[in-house]
Structure 1
Amino acid sequence: MEACHEHILLKAEKGIAQTEKSIKRLRIRVLEKGFFSKAEEILFFKHIKPKFFSKLIYYVKLYHIESKRPRSGTKYQIKYLNHQIHKLQIYFNENLEFYYYYRRGATTLDEQYFIRGKSNLRTPTQSFHFFVDHEFSTFQDSAVSTIIAFDMLIDYLQQEIEKLENQGKKTKSGLFKNTPNVIWTGNKTELVELIYALQSSGNINSGAADIKEMAILFEQIFHVDLGNYYHKFAEIRARKTSRTKFLDRLQEVLNQRFDQLEE
């Protein structure tokens, strides 16, 4: 356990050093050669730079999280890691407008977001200005990098939680042994919508069950990997039409069934 922890910290330290060198080389190249067009500049700051910068953010945050991680007690470690996921998720929730813009591949505001020297439309709630400068940054390239980095961090933390939970699953190994083989064949986002609705109702464990617990349960029941359900929920919140699209459809088809039985 301790050796593994030291390995992660060492990996993070090396990652920080390597990505800083890469970013410095990238900066020199950009300042020396510049860009031939706005499209080329947008491409660089929207897609190329974030590939490097996101790794720097990832390793810095990883080192910070792992250096403060409890050394013993599975329960306390899981609680700590879940809290870290929640803190990362706050960034997506507080920057939902840009998160949705980037996730759906929008381009209408690219010149405002990814051309140097443009004025800010608004001040982001969290950024990494200590790593950037005006000659090598735009209004939102650090936000793209942060989204990518936090995606990687949440995936890492979820894997760590899963490892810890698997350590205590021996006594529960027969829990789903005799359950029917029922497979979820719908859209994963629809299942996430259902899970959040049930959790929000307060009818599971008198409201004490958290999203992580319920997601694991539904994944086991329906033999499905929900992936990053926190991000799927953020996408649900960002819908321009009904945010309860799946629940609305459930109500509709159930009422249709009632009507058919009464005919």
Structure 2
Amino acid sequence: MNSKASNLIINLNEQLNFIDLEIDNIITKSEKAVDIILKSMTNLKKIVQKNKFKSDSEEILFFKEIKPQLTSKLIYYNMIYKIEMKRPNGGNRILKKYYHNELSKLKSFFDNELEFYQYYRSGSIYLDYKYFQRGKFDIKLALDSYYFEADTSFSTSHDFKVARILANDLIQLYLENQLVMIENKDGFEKSQRKPNIKLMWTGSKVALTELLYALHSEGTFNNGAVDLKDIAEYFEQIFEIDLGQYRRAFLEIRARKSDRTKFISSLNETLLKRMDNADDII
């Protein structure tokens, strides 16, 4: 069953990505997204109704990881629609206050659900049999009133809370991006103020070359419509560094007998360690 559900979510993500590319207006985009997600939610429910879970672990996996992926997107686009519909008319100061207030609402949810938030984020599983199996509700587990109105054949006591956590992450990112855009607009209006510091590349040229090829391979710049040479020259200009024969350096990187992506692997490891050790959750 879970494989069918996963394929449904993959198809949904493809549709949402298409909408994201084709529609610029966030309100229109959110309306269209909600409509598509609701149809996918109906199809997901049919899958659950027509099939039985093979084991308790499969049921827990579905309600802990699979269904929240879909529900979180519904919550996200619905909330973004509401936020933008209620956005006040006014200058940047008013908009910043409005978006900061919306961020505070997310913080309130985190504070109210701290115990479960810590359980979920820590990867704990000892209460999964109560949280993510149908009919296992316990009034002592701080149930939301919506649970008693939900379809218990398609809901558990905490799958919606997981979806809220995932959705809040996306909403927080959206709000922070809006604030950054406002700050950038303020900066532009202040005669395009230059950065107070100058960034210098202090890593090795080989590491920068490895990053250069990785970014070009991913098509990160200009939707992939840019030559490797142009990216290299841009790096050389902004960092005031001479990469020299970077194509030859890449051949040497490719010829490494072990860990050919040494710098990229190090970045991944360092970032994961930072995520694991992060204190500021929200």
Query: Normalization by structure 1: what TM-score?
Result: 0.63
Secondary structure in structure 1 of the residue aligned to 2:81: helix
Shift of 1:123: 2.6
Secondary structure in structure 2 of the residue aligned to 1:82: helix
Task: Give ranges in structure 2 of 5+ residues lacking alignment.
Answer: 1-22, 203-270
Supply the AA of the counterpart residue of 2:172: I
The match for 2:63 is 45
Number of residue pairs aligned between Structure 1 and Structure 2: 186
Residue 180 and residue 15 in structure 1: after superposition, are their counterparts in 2 closer, same or farther (change >3 A)? Answer: closer
Is 1:109 the counterpart of 2:109 in the alignment?
A: no
The match for 2:86 is 68
Correspondence for 1:18 among 26, 36, 43: 36
The answer to which structure, 1 or 2, has the higher relative contact order (CA under 8 A, 6+ apart) is 1
Shift of 1:178: 5.1
Residue 162 and residue 130 in structure 1: after superposition, are their counterparts in 2 closer, same or farther (change >3 A)? Answer: farther
Is 1:177 the counterpart of 2:196 in the alignment?
A: yes
Structure 1 or 2, whichever has the larger Rg, is: 2
Shift of 1:177: 2.6
Shift of 1:55: 0.5
Task: Give ranges in structure 1 of 5+ residues lacking alignment.
Answer: 184-224, 236-263
Measured in 2, the distance between the counterparts of 1:44 and 1:78 equals: 38
The match for 1:164 is 182
Q: Is contact 1:93-1:234 (8 Å) kept?
A: no
Secondary structure in structure 2 of the residue aligned to 1:21: helix
Residues 30-80 of structure 1 show CA distances to partners (whole Å, capped at 9, x for unaligned) of 011020100000000000000100001111111111100113311100110
Measured in 2, the distance between the counterparts of 1:150 and 1:6 equals: 22
Residues 118-160 of structure 1 show CA distances to partners (whole Å, capped at 9, x for unaligned) of 12333346x7659941110001000000000010000000001
Correspondence for 1:87 among 105, 113, 118: 105
Q: Is contact 1:128-1:142 (8 Å) kept?
A: no
Secondary structure in structure 1 of the residue aligned to 2:135: coil
Supply the AA of the counterpart residue of 2:26: I
The match for 1:240 is none
Q: Is contact 2:143-2:157 (8 Å) kept?
A: no
Q: Is contact 2:41-2:70 (8 Å) kept?
A: yes
Measured in 1, the distance between the counterparts of 2:182 and 2:148 equals: 35
Q: CA RMSD in A?
A: 3.0
Query: Normalization by structure 2: what TM-score?
Result: 0.59
Shift of 1:15: 1.1
Residue 74 and residue 47 in structure 1: after superposition, are their counterparts in 2 closer, same or farther (change >3 A)? Answer: same
Measured in 1, the distance between the counterparts of 2:280 and 2:130 equals: 27
Supply the AA of the counterpart residue of 1:111: Y
Instruction: Kindly report structure 1 stretches of 4+ aligned residues shifted beyond 6 Å.
Output: none
Q: Is contact 2:137-2:156 (8 Å) kept?
A: no
Deviates more, 1:74-83 or 1:128-137: 128-137
Residue 81 and residue 169 in structure 1: after superposition, are their counterparts in 2 closer, same or farther (change >3 A)? Answer: same
